[in-house]
Amino acid sequence: MIMRRFLISLTAFCLTIASFAQGSGDWEYLFNGKDLTGWKQLNGKAKYEVVNGEIVGTSVLNTPNSFLATEKDFSDFIFEVEMFLEFDVNSGIQFRSQSLPEFNNGRVHGYQCEIDPSPRAWSGGIYDEARRGWLYPLDINPAGKAAFKKGEWNHYRIEAIGPSMRIWLNGIPTAWLIDDMTPSGFIALQVHSINRPELEGLKIRWKNIRIKTKNLQPSPFEDIYVVNLLPNNLSDAEKKQGFRLLFDGKTTNGWKSANGNAFPAKGWEAKDNNLTVLSSAASSQRGGDIVTVDKFKAFELRFDFNMSEGANSGVKYFTGNNGPSVGLEYQVLDDAKHPDAAQGAAGNRTLGSLYDLIPAEKEARFVNKPGEWNRGAIVVYPDNRVEHWLNGRKVLEFVRGNNIYRALVARSKFAGMEGFGMAEEAPILLQDHNDMVHFRNIKIREL
């Protein structure tokens, strides 16, 4: 009987090993549990080895970010891995990433699924390594911040199908990005660079590394924030969330002059997927402000903008009580080159601010320079709470109409304007301030 049980146990063990080696169904294991066959190290000199059937990465002082990358590239896939972080230092999982001689001497670049044990808690967010920086910080998905388990094994799942990239951490959806900059590339396990001696020799462990590239089916819809970087594209997920485009990328349909019923004949153009206010030093060439034909009460507005050097513009809302172009304004400004940044009080005329009322609280690394795209958002809740967002970070909030709001208005250039910013409903306005600014991905949902 003992021998029989031993043989049964041995058979089961052998079957488990065989399943591990070959994958299960459409799954393929990328790590054989014995050595680093199929992997290569890039950039830094952190130590990677196999210990007890796990890949173990060990930090090394004063070396760049290190990456253990698959030798194969992958385009569409579902990837899963378990990882254990033995120290509170940032790490990540690269996917659809590349290392090319012509790009920064082979610097690894591309999408990174974040491992972040810090109080910021952005594990499961998406960072664009060595390129655009943060694409999906978890400030836009607060529920995902609780997914990471310090001092425990964590299970990551990355689903990349077409331009849609989704991440789950321990079964919790943490990120949904739609982007097409890099449709294919390797997967890599990162050991982050360190510059403090006390952090040398700390370890990160990986196991159960597998991928599926055949018979892929997108996971069911889950209602989390979607960052869609495709120009003027509305994904099925965004449609389910109630968003619609205010600019179709081709025409000026749905827009008109703030001072008339037709779209301006000059000063604006819809071209190359952008709705652009043109530079117009001569007043005769200005088109003036434009507004949506539709009016809105409570809403979430998202928009991308790309400003020329030294530019000034804005996105206004709740106009009308004091004229068609007077209302609350999300400031669009080149803070470094435009003199208006130094006007007002405490920076309340800088980029992302509620113009002349509340300054935006920004970190420089979350602000893209002129000539690059920034992502803005204005959220107005039914109870009159308002938020301004810039590149996935909330930069200010206030309550429209409360005592603090009225005090701010009383000390601003809008003092004395009855009912300033308190219209019940109003169109969305894009400002013509003589400078070239491109807008795209203008989408809205009513709340």
pLDDT at residue 173 tops 70? yes
What's the pLDDT at 146? 97
pLDDT at residue 30 tops 50? yes
**20 pLDDT tier (thresholds 50, 70, 90):** very low
pLDDT at residue 11 tops 90? no
- Are the C-beta atoms of residues 35 and 174 closer than 8 Å to each other? no
**Any idea of the CA torsion for 178, 180, 186, 191, to the nearest 10 degrees?**
-60
- Per residue in 91-118, pLDDT (tens digit) is 999 999 999 999 999 999 999 999 999 9
Q: What's the rounded Cα separation, in Å, for the pair 35 and 295?
A: 62
What's the pLDDT at 89? 84
Long-range contacts of 244-247 (CB under 8 A, 24+ apart): 244/443, 244/444, 244/445, 245/442, 245/443, 246/292, 246/428, 246/442, 246/443, 246/444, 247/275, 247/439, 247/440, 247/442
Burial class (CB in 10 A: 0-12, 13-18, 19+), 18: exposed
> Is domain 23-212 in CATH 3.30.750.24, yes or no?
no
- Per residue in 345-368, pLDDT (tens digit) is 999 999 999 999 999 999 999 999
- Are the C-beta atoms of residues 262 and 268 closer than 8 Å to each other? no
**86 pLDDT tier (thresholds 50, 70, 90):** confident
Percent of the chain with pLDDT over 70: 94
Percent of the chain with pLDDT over 90: 90
Q: Which residue has the higher pLDDT, 201 or 184?
A: 184
What's the pLDDT at 14? 41
- Are the C-beta atoms of residues 109 and 131 closer than 8 Å to each other? yes
What's the pLDDT at 24? 58
Of the candidate ranges 8-12, 78-82, 91-95, the one whose mean pLDDT is the lowest: 8-12
Residues of the chain with CATH 2.60.120.560: 23-212, 231-446
pLDDT at residue 225 tops 70? yes
CATH of domain 231-446: 2.60.120.560
- Extract the tokens encoding 188: 């890599």
What's the pLDDT at 194? 86
What's the pLDDT at 282? 61
**Full-model pTM:** 0.92
343 Cβ contact list (under 8 Å, min separation 6) = 349
pLDDT at residue 16 tops 60? no
Residue with tokens 């014995």: 34
What's the pLDDT at 12? 38
Mean pLDDT of 377-398: 98
Nearest Cα residue to 329 out of 289, 362, 369, 381: 289
pLDDT at residue 133 tops 80? yes
What's the pLDDT at 198? 87
What's the pLDDT at 87? 82
Mean pLDDT of 166-174: 98
Mean pLDDT of 120-128: 98
- Are the C-beta atoms of residues 131 and 110 closer than 8 Å to each other? yes
Q: What's the rounded Cα separation, in Å, for the pair 213 and 205?
A: 24
- Are the C-beta atoms of residues 90 and 118 closer than 8 Å to each other? yes
What's the pLDDT at 3? 40
Residue with tokens 């664009």: 128
93 alpha carbon, distance to own chain's centre:
16
**1 pLDDT tier (thresholds 50, 70, 90):** very low
Q: Tell me what the pLDDT averaged over the chain comes to.
A: 93
pLDDT at residue 19 tops 60? no
